[in-house]
Chain A
């Protein structure tokens, strides 16, 4: 080989050799990288499998938790339907749905006092019953039909005897007439034959001499109007939430067992509380 030929082959030959060396190193490097790539792929597959397992386990617990919370929040839950709560200790009423207070106001509740039934050894206790009651009906312009204890209490307060008037009875008056029942009225029949019905109200019951008359149920004299406010939510067994003609009693334990509210409050409650609403008294 001539010098000229050698020189002409030297540069391309060297380049070939260098490039061959580089390619060899590259191939070896690539093998390392491919091994690393395989290891990373395997690691990712493992990580992904762990993730699926972890997420699956978390989902089971989260789903159980969600179901439990949904169940609690569902409309089937009693706490999520409107209800009334009355605190005897605080003389306060709340109308709630869940934790939300829709309306609250002060009330008067039972005094807790006792009243002896004259001559029987028995007694009434004026307390608001604790427990779960239900709004059984809603009344407009309710009249109060006073129970026997009202007359007993009035008689004891005024140191009078009690007489229970019945149909056909005639109770002589000091003025020469008689007190008797005509139709649905308790009347005074005067000697000249006039019959004048009694007008009664709380504190102005029928009195004959030193006797306080208990009118029979069904007579107009056993119905007091205007003392319970415009509305009443009846709770059964003679108990109710009603208004009052004695607003200064609100906030105190002075009632005979009913739950008294201000007249404007009973109108609000009448509007927003439905029949069937539970009333929890504690």
Chain B
């Protein structure tokens, strides 16, 4: 083979190597795109799983708190501080429910005294009867209950009954 032939063959060989390298580069770039996309999806899914975890953790805590009163077979009060729903319950049965204004912390409290002016609970908390159209914000430690609901609930509660705030 002549030197020119050798050079031409070498050129062709190098051209083929270059083409193969271009192909390989393209292949790697494609994989990098896929890896980036997969990583982004995995990060998104991880974030979503974290959000789900936190939401479900909060819901679980709330549901556990809600299920505590349902184990109480005697007449008791249950107040959801999130939605302001106060209910008179007996076991799992909701006898009466109403919406109230409340400024009390979470926890379980015992009924200490009952009269037409209010229901006093341990911890210094009080349920007060108010007019149906009442719009006054609740003072700290109080729960403002529409009078008709208060009057219907009151005769069913005894001293020692529990009020669950959750």
Contact = CB atoms under 8 A, between A and B. Distances in A.
Interface of A: 5, 8-9, 12-13, 15-16, 19-20, 22-23, 26-27, 29-30, 33-34, 36-37, 40-41, 43-44, 47-48, 50-51, 54-55, 57-58, 61-62, 64-65, 68-69, 72, 77-79, 83, 85, 87-90, 99, 130, 132, 278, 280, 282
Nearest to A64: B60
Nearest to A61: B56
Contacts of B22: 26
Given A37-B28, A40-B32, A282-B156, A77 B92 contact: yes
B1 to A, nearest CB: 12
Contacts of A65: 56, 59-60, 63
Contacts, number: 143
Interface stretch (B41-49, B103-111, B123-131, B134-142): B41-49
Given A23-B21, A89-B151, A130-B156, A37 B49 contact: no
B146 to A, nearest CB: 12
Interface string B35-61: 110110011011001101100110110
Contacts of A90: 152
A68 B42 contact: no
B82 interface: no
B18 interface: yes
Contacts of A30: 21, 24-25, 28
Contact of B152 (A20, A69, A282): A282
B17 interface: yes
Given A79-B70, A99-B94, 13 more contacts: A13-B7, A19-B14, A19-B15, A23-B21, A34-B28, A36-B32, A37-B32, A43-B35, A55-B45, A58-B52, A72-B63, A83-B93, A85-B95
Majority secondary structure of chain B interface residues (helix, strand, loop or mixed): helix
Contacts of B35: 37, 40-41, 43-44
B8 interface: yes
5 contacts: A20-B14, A47-B39, A61-B53, A130-B155, A282-B88
Nearest to A278: B93
B38 to A, nearest CB: 5
Contacts of B69: none
Interface residues of B, number: 53
A282 B75 contact: yes
A281 B57 CA distance: 36
A40 B28 CA distance: 11
Given A34-B28, A87-B152, A282-B156, A48 B42 contact: yes
Nearest to A26: B21
B49 A55 contact: yes
B7 A50 contact: no
Contacts of B85: none
Contacts of A72: 63, 67, 70, 92
B152 A47 contact: no
Q: Which 9 A-B pairs have the closest CB atoms?
A: A19-B14, A89-B152, A12-B7, A47-B42, A54-B49, A40-B35, A26-B21, A79-B92, A58-B53
A43 B43 CA distance: 10
A12 B152 contact: no
A12 B21 contact: no
B122 interface: no
Contacts of A5: 3
B53 A68 contact: no
A207 to B, nearest CB: 39
A12 B11 contact: yes
B90 A132 contact: yes
A79 B21 contact: no
Given A47-B46, A54-B46, A54-B50, A68 B7 contact: no
Contacts of B17: 19, 23
Nearest to B91: A78
Interface in B1-20: 3-4, 7-8, 10-11, 14-15, 17-18
B64 interface: yes
